[in-house]
Structure 1
Amino acid sequence: MGRSHALSGWVVGLAVAPMVGLTSVAEVIPFAAATAGYALVPDLDHPGGSASRILGPITGLISSAIRTFSGVLYNLTKGPRDEDSTGKHRHASHTLAAAIGLGMLAASLGDRGKWAVLAIAATGLLLAAHVLGDWVLFAVLGATAYSIFGAALPGTTPADALQAGYAGIGGWIGVAVGLGMFTHCLGDSLTRSGCPWLWPLPIRGETWYEIRLPRLLRFSTNSWVERLVVVPALLVAGVLLLPGAWQIVEQAFNATSIWVADH
């Protein structure tokens, strides 16, 4: 589900951006890209996940450490009715607690200077581009160039605009990280396996209770439902939620309606 997770992160990032004060294309695109990238991070607990393979042995080692930690945490905190499981995949990294914790860590590191901000943002961007394609890189670079050279306030230099950009990213990077990870958890809750993102809240004797849709609405990962319904819906939403896109569609529809009426 790597592509679906990244696309859902992109869509949620576009939808949430105005709520954190981001409205222009130059602000929204980097935020959505970072959210898309960090929507892949929970699957670091799977050796075959996109996030686990992006940097070869480096991310492979991180994945192994996360899997080990998750297994230990599962055994220490499982309830009397939790299933007999290794507790590695879809456990520790697939929780709201992990999303909030990593988001807060990213926010605190973002206060330490431009290099920390760039490292966190670049990680999300590379993850998104790894799954969705190089268009993500070009979109972010274009938005960055516009914010530096096209939207700088009169009397300011590109360096001033760049410094303002660092500060702006530092203000929202923690939100993008946490939001992306939680979006991943919600996506997994649509599948048959579900996702225990409410850990450690005990539910029916389980602290790792899998939240999921009613049985008839669940689908398997990489099934035809994901490929032919979920992905196309996310692609459409990912375009329509771009700043100004809906207005363009509405104007085109009105123009078409007028043309049809006249003919």
Structure 2
Amino acid sequence: MGRSHALSGWCAGLAVAPFVGLNSVAEVVPFAAATAGYALLPDLDHPGASASRVLGPITGFVSGAVRAFSGVVYAITKGPRDEDSTGRHRHASHTLAAAIALGFLTSSVGAAGGWRAVLGVALFGLILAADVLGDWVLTVVVGAGAWTLAGTWLPGTSAAQALQGGLAEIGSWIGVAVAVGMFVHCLGDSLTRSGCPWLWPLPIRGETWYEIRLPRGLRFRTGGWVENLLIAPALVVGSVLLLPGAVQILHDFLAALLSTTSVWIAGAN
């Protein structure tokens, strides 16, 4: 489900950015790239996940530490009706608490480290997303940035300066991108048959790790036809239409096409 997680994170980042005052592509694209990548981060608790393998032994080591920590937290906090489990996969890293905690941490890093720190956080997110979606995501991000920046540069302003300005504007808001990405992952898992205990440590029906999920008839299987034929294509469309200015460009194109077609029909008659 990695592709769907990354795409949903990208769409969520594009949708949330304007609400925190980010509007230009120099601001929105790095923000959404971070959200897309960190939408994969909760799966660090699985050794076979993309996030656990992307940087080889480095992320492999982090994955092991996350799994061990999750197991300890599960053993300490499980309720009387929680299942007998190791608590390693889809537990500690798949919670709203984890998303908020890492969000606060990266927000502090962004505020203290300036645009360079924001770039580092966003770049790691982009690497995670590209590992799942393929190199085309790099082309989309770079192309989208060039497309809007080309129309917003001031005379004498370089691409690097425009990008630095955008990253500086993001600042501590990069933590929101991280938190939103991780939470979107949890929501995505809640659509599947397994569910996700993202409300931990709130006790529900005697379970501290209660799996939030859709009603039985609405759940789908990870990697099944619902995800591949319905959800993923819808997210691809959304990932383009949510780009700043994309809807207006589409509107202008359709209006021009309709006008040209009308003139051609009138001339034919």
CA distance, structure 1, for counterparts of residue 111 and residue 163 of structure 2? 16
Q: TM-score, normalised by structure 2?
A: 0.89
**1: CA distance between counterparts of 2:247 and 2:157?**
32
Q: 1:10 to 1:163 in 2, by over 3 A?
A: closer
- Equivalent position of 2:81 in the other structure: 81
Q: C-alpha deviations, 1:72-125, integer Å up to 9, x for none?
A: 100100011111111010000000000000000001111222443232121111
Deviates more, 1:215-224 or 1:237-246: 237-246
The residue that corresponds to 2:92 in the other structure is 92
Which residue of structure 2 lines up, in the alignment, with residue 53 of structure 1?
53
Give the match for residue 127 of structure 1: 128
Alpha-carbon distance between aligned partners in 1 of 2:157 and 2:262, rounded to the nearest angstrom:
50
Q: State the 1:70 CA deviation.
A: 0.3
List runs of 5+ in structure 1 lacking aligned partners: none
Counterpart of 1:95 in structure 2: which amino acid? T
Taking the TM superposition and a 5 Å limit, the aligned residue runs for 1:141-180 are 141-142=142-143, 151-153=152-154, 161=162, 163-180=164-181
Identify unmatched segments of 5+ residues in structure 2: none
Deviates more, 1:14-23 or 1:150-159: 150-159
- CA positional deviation for 1:29: 1.5
Letter in 2 for 1:167: A
Aligned residue pairs, count? 263
Q: CA RMSD in A?
A: 2.4
Aligned to 1:27: 27
Q: Distance in 1 between matches of 2:260 and 2:163?
A: 45
**Is the alpha carbon distance of 1:46 and 1:142 closer, same or farther for their aligned partners in structure 2, counting shifts above 3 Å?**
same
* Distance change (3 Å), C-alpha of 1:73 and 1:243: same
> Structure 1 residues 112, 191: closer, same or farther in 2, change over 3 A?
same
- Counterpart of 1:3 in structure 2 is 3
1: CA distance, partners of 2:236 / 2:135: 16
Q: Give yes or no for contact 2:46–2:52 (8 Å, CA) kept in 1.
A: yes
2:226 and 2:159 map into 1 onto residues whose CA distance is: 47
* Residue in 2 that maps onto 1:196: 197
CA distance in 1, matches of 2:5, 2:85: 24
CA 1:133–1:157: 2 relative to 1, 3 Å: closer
Offset, 1:251: 3.4
Shift of residue 250, structure 1, vs aligned partner:
2.9
Deviations 1:201-250 (A, max 9, x none): 01111110000001000001111111111101111111111122222333
**CA 1:105–1:223 in 2, change beyond 3 Å: closer, same or farther?**
same
